Amino acid sequence: MLKRGTQLVPLSVIKTIEAYSMFATGDTVLVAFSGGPDSTALVHILMLQSERYGIKLHLAYLNHNLRGAESAEEQRFVEAMAEQLGLPIETRALTEQESQELSKGSLESRARAVRRAFLEETASRVGANKIATGHTFDDQVETLLMRLFVGTGQDGFAGIRAVSGLFVRPLIDTPKESLLKFLGDNAINYVQDSTNLGGAALRNRIRHRLVPAIDEVFGPHAFAKLVSFSKLVARDSQVLDEIAQNVYQQASCEVNGRPALLVESLRRMRPAVRNRVVRKMLFEIGLPRQSINAQHIATVAAIAASHNPEARTKLPGAVSAARHGDAIVFGAPDPAPSTYPPFQCELRVPGSAEIPSRHRRVVASAVETPAGAVPGGKNESLLAADICLECGPELILRSAGDQDTFIPLGMGQQVRVHNFLKRQKVPRHERTNYPLITRRDGVVLWVVGQRIDNRARITETSRGAVRLTLRHV
């Protein structure tokens, strides 16, 4: 077991933590722990620095169950190390069916999304206000090179952020070589993911072939210059994002209940601003950040420039962008009604559940009652916990029936869910078996992505809140 002071922590880690004010006294930090060298170094470094920054640590491990016996051995390793270090750990192993789902589409992207959801849910459950991940300087270089060759905009070339919401990355300026030296000097064991050694995945080809070639031709300083340039890009990108945020409010609208952007507004924008407006729309409809590249944004911009009234393009996750009069409408292509079968499942708080056939997942978390105005939007709602959980900690995610009614927020009388969706101009095929969140006694709490029940609203007397978030899968 590592003794305090045995080996100095790499100075670059301390500089990064303090440059970004990552921690404050009293923070509970959930550390994403895989047993690999990066996350193992992160756990030990944060243990050494926990008194200095006044933080408490909690570990989290997600077993994707993609490597058979190796995955099982890895889980045993992380659990044993957590016990050895005296740190609490939350673990979860994906079922065989969940693991198979990861292989549909980009394995890396889907695995990252599942891992992020697990970390956010776990942080909510254990009361952590920070989530620390083991991204290193090497990961930053590989990500920048990968985005460069796959295609990315200015924001993508800003790289992996040191701080992003709950997530902090203390190792982002530290080379892996320094971390391996730290582990070796202190005789700290770790496991190696065999899939990181192969050459099949794009990231692995960059890691094992391109990076050594650049190092041989230009020397190691080339990587520092690459990352330095990305930080300059990040500063400019932040300014442009603020401009685009204001313009987005003027350009966005709804067409038949679907999110849309006005064609003429897009045509008047400078390319740098227009690209950000399009990207923000793609985020708003739930596409994961990592699934969007520069080519996707360019094809949407081409629709705006085109005079073809039927121009359309396919986007990740079975989403399309199509001209509809004076606007570009975003969403899933119109399927047959039978595509949306009736369904029902439990949704624990905290927890998540997938909406069958709609490429959406609802994530539930317990949060404090907000002060002042209640934030939210179509894809996120805050509800009074004492009303939601009156019948127990499990909510029900199910399809709407013909007789379901609720009291829409701001109204005083019951309306049929079907009639409400019709008035909201939700397309007929989407109204079939529309998803609802209800209590066990059948009371409708949220017409998903539309409106909460007036009785579940946050009031001055509310005791806690439940955040429900609709995400793209």
Parallel/antiparallel/unpaired status of strands 312-315 and 319-324: antiparallel
Q: What are phi and psi of 91, to 5 degrees?
A: -125, 150
Cβ burial, residue 4 (10 Å; 0-12/13-18/19+): exposed
Query: Which tens digits make up the pLDDT trace of 225-271?
Result: 999 999 898 888 888 888 999 999 999 998 877 899 999 999 999 99
Task: Report d(CA 399, CA 470) in Å as an integer.
Answer: 15
Separation of alpha carbons 344 and 396, rounded Å: 7
Q: What is the mean pLDDT of the chain?
A: 88
CA distances, 215 to each of 37, 145, 220 (Å) = 22, 13, 5
- Confidence bin at 373 (pLDDT 50/70/90): low
CA 226 to chain centre: 26
Is residue 6 over pLDDT 50?
Answer: no
Q: Name the DSSP letter for residue 370.
A: P
CA atoms within a 13 Å half-sphere pointing along the CA-CB vector of 197: 5
Checking DSSP bridges between strand 130-132 and strand 167-168, what pairing results, if any?
parallel
pLDDT, tens digit, 9 for 90 and up, residues 412-443:
899 999 999 988 867 666 788 899 999 999 99
Tell me, rounded to whole angstroms, the distance of Cα 238 from its chain centroid: 20
Model confidence band, residue 102 (pLDDT cutoffs 50, 70, 90): low
Alpha-carbon distance of 143 to 213, in angstroms, equals 16
pTM beyond cutoff 0.85:
no
pLDDT at residue 162 above 90? yes
The CA distance from 110 to 98, in Å, is: 11
- Asked if pLDDT for residue 449 goes beyond 50, the answer is yes
Domains and CATH numbers, the chain: 11-134+169-218 (3.40.50.620), 230-331 (3.30.465.60), 337-472 (no CATH)
* Residue 45 CA from chain centroid, whole number: 26
CA pair distance 473, 467, nearest whole angstrom = 18
What pLDDT does residue 377 have?
A: 64
Distance between CA atoms of 97 and 318, rounded to whole angstroms?
Answer: 21
Residues 72 and 43 sit within 8 Å (Cβ to Cβ)? no
Decide if pLDDT at 5 tops 70.
no
Position 213: which residue type?
A: A
First and final CA of the chain: distance in angstroms? 40
Q: If we measure between CA atoms, which residue out of 440, 462, 467, 433 comes closest to residue 452?
A: 467
CA distance 238 to 231: 11
Instruction: Please say whether the beta carbons of 447 and 406 come within 8 A.
Output: yes
Residue 111 phi, psi (nearest 5)? -65, -40
Across the range 171-192, mean pLDDT stands at 94
Model pLDDT, residue 337: 47
Which residues, in sequence order, are bridge partners of residue 323? 328
- Per-residue pLDDT reduced to its tens digit, 265-312: 999 999 999 999 999 999 888 887 767 888 899 999 999 999 887 788
Burial class (CB in 10 A: 0-12, 13-18, 19+), 74: buried
Two tokens at 290? 């990592």
CA distances, 261 to each of 83, 150, 314 (Å): 53, 26, 16
Mean pLDDT, residues 371-392 taken together: 80
The conformation of residue 368, written as its DSSP 8-state character, comes to P
pLDDT at 65 over 90: no
Q: What is the 3-state secondary structure (H, E, C) of 206-231?
A: HHHHHHHHHHHHHCCHHHHHHHHHHH
- Name the E strands within 297-338: 312-315, 319-324, 327-331
Q: Which single residue is written with the structure tokens 């393009």?
A: 313
Tell me how far apart the alpha carbons of residues 285 and 290 are, in angstroms, rounded to a whole number. 14
